[in-house]
A and B are shown apart, each in its own frame.
Chain A
Amino acid sequence: MGTIIELTGVNKIYGTNHVVKDLNLTVEEGEFLTLLGSSGCGKTTTLRMIAGFEEPTTGSIKVEGESIEEKEPFERNVNTVFQTYALFPHKTIFDNIAYGLKMKKVPKAEIKERVLDMMDMVQLTGFENRYPSQLSGGQKQRVAIARALINRPRVLLLDEPLGALDLKLRKQMQLELKRLQKKLNITFIYVTHDQEEALTMSDRIAIMHDGVVDQLASPKDIYEHPATRFVATFIGETNTYDGCVTSMTDGVATVTLENGAVRVKCDDSFNILEYATVSVRPESMRFDTKPHEGFELVAVVKDFIYVGSVLKCIVSLPNGNELKIERLSGQELPEIGSRIYPYWDPMDGVLIHNDSYKIFKALDEIKLA
């Protein structure tokens, strides 16, 4: 498996709006890569630049080592599944799916065979003569996917393809898409703002934030080892504590907070007196009625939220910050208003570099001047 797509120093600027900032991204052959981010983070623009609908302001895009910035969309060996499906309303399902082959002047008999094969693969057999308006959302989605896949693209680009479907259908289509991708061994670049979708389907996830890729890693790595504060808070629920590393022994750091101190595992990239953020998932949080060794953290129980198999316990720190602690539904609960001492296994927390020191550095510089 080699690199199939390589974006180097890609920028996209609309007027005064810098949408994609100096983006470097490498996509491996045959992988399912998701661009995940909230709306306006530049993920769709990135996809559109690969498809050829937008031109990068600067930077290069290579497919299989060949620069394609100058190529028109119809000259590129990538295909797109659009968010709105973009099926041709005046053509039958057969003609919609056959469109790409017709453009390539594939012989009629072969077109027929391949279209029928493809329709079988996406479970649409029998729908040849219908029109898009006669199909349900999920069926339209399958036509859109079939219409793109039939061209045997090197890379398939998917722009929030499941966004318009209801939850149940979406879950089903997620599995189907993943199955198709594995079966055909085509590289998928998938854009979504749904983190659960990204975690379920992807081999790797690129989390985009404000035009920059914050982290590019496997779903497990992203969830367990978020690289930035943004990634930690964007993926799943988490509790964050901003503080300063005050000691490090045997791979465990003590981080002093404004209202106490906590312990968390750390690696060599941290230094004593560095500003950092501790991130701990609600399911890793524990609490006790007496202080736990190494933790100076006290909180007051505010509320309980029942969410099926687990119960979320909302507690508040003296500075007003709220923490979420998950407990199994059957477990004994503290009383609301009672005082508790949160802690966790230092191995379950993550220490993240924090650039808030820049604030203090800037303040120092002003003072010196």
Chain B
Amino acid sequence: MKNMSKHDLKSNTIPAVVTVGPVALLLLLLVLAPLILVTVMSLCQTDEFYNVVYRFTLVNYSKLLSPDYIKIYGQSLLIAFITTLICVLIGYPFSYVIARTKSKKRQLFYMLVIIPFWTNSLIRIYGWRTFLGSSGWLNKLLMAMGVAAEPIELLYKTGTTVLGMVYCFIPFMVLPLYTAIEKLDASLLEASSDLGARPVKTLFEVILPLTSSGLFSGCIMVFIPCLGYFFVSNILGGGNTDMIGNLIERQFKSANNWPLGAALSIILIVVTLILVKIYQKLGGDMDSLGV
């Protein structure tokens, strides 16, 4: 007892600078400073060689409203939405089955979702390109089976981008869903059935409402990064399905218009914040986003 109280006394006397200081410093350096930098840059002008000139302007933001860009925003939102929808349709039944099964294969199924994570996603997307390409395995197979007379162009379509996105993001849907479904008390399902509910009724009355937090987090964790991902649409969409991420990447890498890129980034951050706010409003738990 004596030792404990001594210890308590000690920990109480450690100044806040020592305990919270390092974390605050890290946040300052890695989150706040870059954010300020991006915000400032989005309000700067460029000279004729696209060097950043630190003079205030709103011209970058007015450029964001050009019809070409608006079309890309719409396209991004649409692709992100379809990707999220497909992730839900595949991820929910899959998570449900692995979370509710009593079999020992449960761990195996879980690992099947996790293992691809261990390989770089860029490499995996290139893998899809090789697989789907005109001289890829799929086309070879289709021709060998006599389904196709000549190679079918499977790449560079919106669908291909969505496929790659779903492939990249499905674990982000499955993991929160798995956690939520696993927590579901089996006796609630029995109670529902006992009270006369058919399985479909139980799904809508009990299962979905009680796993909605997992579903929300899954959707947020797929939808938001989807908007900013550029390499999937680069590699599989071949520039035909530009997303906001592609626009930003291009401003920084090829167009060399950093202030415009910064303004686009700000827009993306604002959209993200709005979505997270909606998520919170719907009762979402912020902790479950921190996977």
Contact = CB atoms under 8 A, between A and B. Distances in A.
B interface, how many residues as a size bin? Answer: 10 to 19
A151 to B, nearest CB: 7
Contacts of B198: 74
Nearest to A159: B187
Given A88-B188, A90-B209, A80 B196 contact: no
Contact of A84 (B187, B192, B195, B210): B187
A105 to B, nearest CB: 10
A103 B190 contact: no
A190 interface: no
A79 B187 CA distance: 13
A164 interface: no
Contact of B187 (A74, A86, A151): A86
B191 to A, nearest CB: 4
B185 A86 contact: yes
A82 B195 contact: no
Contacts of B193: 52-53, 72-74
Nearest to A104: B196
A103 B201 contact: yes
Contacts of B48: none
Contact of A103 (B187, B188, B195, B209): B195
Interface residues of A, number: 23
Interface string A65-78: 00000001110001
Nearest to B188: A86
A148 B209 CA distance: 22
A100 B196 contact: yes
B201 A82 contact: no
B197 interface: yes
A100 B198 CA distance: 11
B194 interface: yes
Interface in A242-256: none
A147 interface: yes
B206 interface: yes
A80 B206 contact: no
B206 A88 contact: yes
Contact of B190 (A78, A86, A87, A147): A86
Contacts of A74: 193-198
Interface in A100-157: 100, 103-104, 147-148, 151
Contacts of B191: 80, 82, 86-88, 147
A79 B210 contact: no
A151 B188 contact: no
Contact of A51 (B192, B194, B196): B194
A82 B191 CA distance: 8
A262 B210 CA distance: 65
Contacts of A52: 193-194
Interface of B: 185, 187-188, 190-198, 201, 205-206, 209-210
